[in-house]
Amino acid sequence: MNHKENGCGFGASQAGDIVNIEEPPSCSARRTRTRILNWSVAAESEWKRLLRESLTGAESIAARFGLDPALIKAVIRQYPARVNPYYLSLIREKNDPIYRQCIPDPAELDDAGGTADPLCEEPENQARPGVPSLLTHRYPDRLLFRISNQCAMYCRFCTRKRKVGDPGKQPTRDAIEEAFRYIENTPAIRDVVLSGGDSLLLDDAPLERIIRRLWNILSSRPAGIIRLGSRLPVVLPQRVTPELCAMLKRYHPVYLNTHFNHPAELTAESRRACTLLADAGIPLGNQSVLLKGVNDDPAVMKELVQGLLSMRVRPYYLYQADPVKGTSHFRTSVDRGLEIYRALRGHTSGLAVPTYVIDAPGGGGKIPLLPDYIKAKYPGRVILRNYEDKEFVYPDTADYK
């Protein structure tokens, strides 16, 4: 999951575009459906109302927190903002971990370090030729399919800051069709990760059309699975409705990875969302990003991962922050990440411990990092360090040649 200014039109007048996309041509009629939601209808769902009531403009954000509107305007001209009333309600004070994740910061513009696309996700940066623009195909058997570039909130630290929220970069019907054809014609693909932006910002019907078509492709492949990447259980848990879960459930095996970064995001609402998803048989994982001033603290991370398990969400990855332009003020050292990992492994349920990874700049994929649990290695002997830093000797065996 991962991201421009008011000129991009996050105002209510355009909010309807966000949750609808055109119908893929394979599904029923050739007719193009460009149905725009009518916000004035009485039956507007809660999540759409919250999305519509989001703060997106410099004036409203600056007024709320006593900031300089000109400075905020300069930031969101470059990188859009959207903060819905639910997530806003979690802010306790200026610069707290919730605030830092969602409120535009002039530091985003002063950033001399980092690049716009460090993971080389854009087609022109990808090593594999001929991959459609909505796909990132880095691994042999799985790929990322970015079905939306919209998010319920524009996280200030986002890796896809270069593009999310830009209406000029929303997936078109043709681009989606091209992506499907690639998946259909690449039999090695058995695992498709629907990502974004945020995959769950699509309304149920267009989302179901995409999932159904994917299911039709993947269910006949050995060990086919569908994965969703979404921050909505965290930033807009009201999106998770019984209707959504009933739909997803028809296309198992469906997995969902969400993105909690701080214990203050573990609320009654997010718990309700995770419960509905888990009860629909969807295994839930969590991908956190290490962020300075948000969660770069062993005690905070421990509270987060334990809280997640209690919500039936399995911590999956802990990402070292990517060197993305506009986010340097969030970056922490690798040593800090290793220290946090050490504070978890052995000290709490193994189930709560995520794999600490760096997504290699240049597009090398995720590389796991571990503290040095092996102190020394000799023929027939490995000296190990346990979680309490005590040493143990393991009698090693030579491999049969």
Ligand X SMILES: *Cc1c(COP(=O)(O)O)cnc(C)c1O
Among candidate residues 117, 198, 203, 322, the one labeled active-site is 322
Binding segment for ligand X among 6-14, 140-148, 211-219, 345-353 (CB under 6 A)?
140-148
How far does CA 86 lie from the centroid of its chain? 18
CB atoms within 10 A of CB 212: 15
366 labelled catalytic: yes
Among candidate residues 8, 102, 120, 151, the one labeled active-site is 151
Query: Residue 5 or residue 121: which is nearer to ligand X going by CB?
Result: 121
Closest to 238 (Cα-Cα) out of 271, 262, 208: 271
User: Which of ligand X, ligand SF4, none binds 138 (CB below 5-8 Å, type-dependent)?
Assistant: ligand X
Q: What does the DSSP 8-state code read for residue 357?
A: E
Q: Which of 139, 373, 387, 392 binds ligand X (CB under 6 A)?
A: 139
Q: Does 142 bind ligand X (CB under 6 A)?
A: yes
Q: What is d(CA 45, CA 36) in angstroms, rounded to the nearest whole number?
A: 15
Binding segment for ligand X among 88-96, 136-144, 181-189, 244-252 (CB under 6 A)?
136-144
Q: Which of 21, 102, 134, 143 binds ligand X (CB under 6 A)?
A: 143
Q: What is d(CA 172, CA 123) in angstroms, rounded to the nearest whole number?
A: 16
213 labelled catalytic: no
Binding to ligand X by CB under 6 A, coded x per residue (else -) over 166-205, reads ---------------------------x------------
322 labelled catalytic: yes
Task: Name the residue type at position 173.
Answer: R
User: Quick one: angle between helices 58-65 and 69-78, nearest 10?
Assistant: 130
How far lies 242's CA from each of 141, 199, 249, in Å? 32, 17, 10
Q: Does 136 bind ligand X (CB under 6 A)?
A: yes
Closest to 86 (Cα-Cα) out of 193, 235, 196, 201: 235
Binding site for ligand SF4 (CB under 6 A): 1-3, 151, 154-155, 158, 160, 164, 196-198, 231
Site for ligand X in 359-378 (CB under 6 A): 366
Tokens in use for 194?
A: 């629907």
Q: Does 231 bind ligand X (CB under 6 A)?
A: no
Q: Does 321 bind ligand X (CB under 6 A)?
A: no
Query: Where do the H-state alpha helices sit in 69-134?
Result: 69-78, 85-88, 97-102
Among candidate residues 68, 92, 139, 174, the one labeled active-site is 139
Q: Identify the residue whose tokens are 């990003």.
A: 289
Tokens in use for 339?
A: 């220290």
Contacting positions for ligand X (CB under 6 A):
136, 138-139, 142-144, 193, 366
Active centre residues (catalytic): 138-139, 142, 151, 155, 158, 160, 322, 359, 366
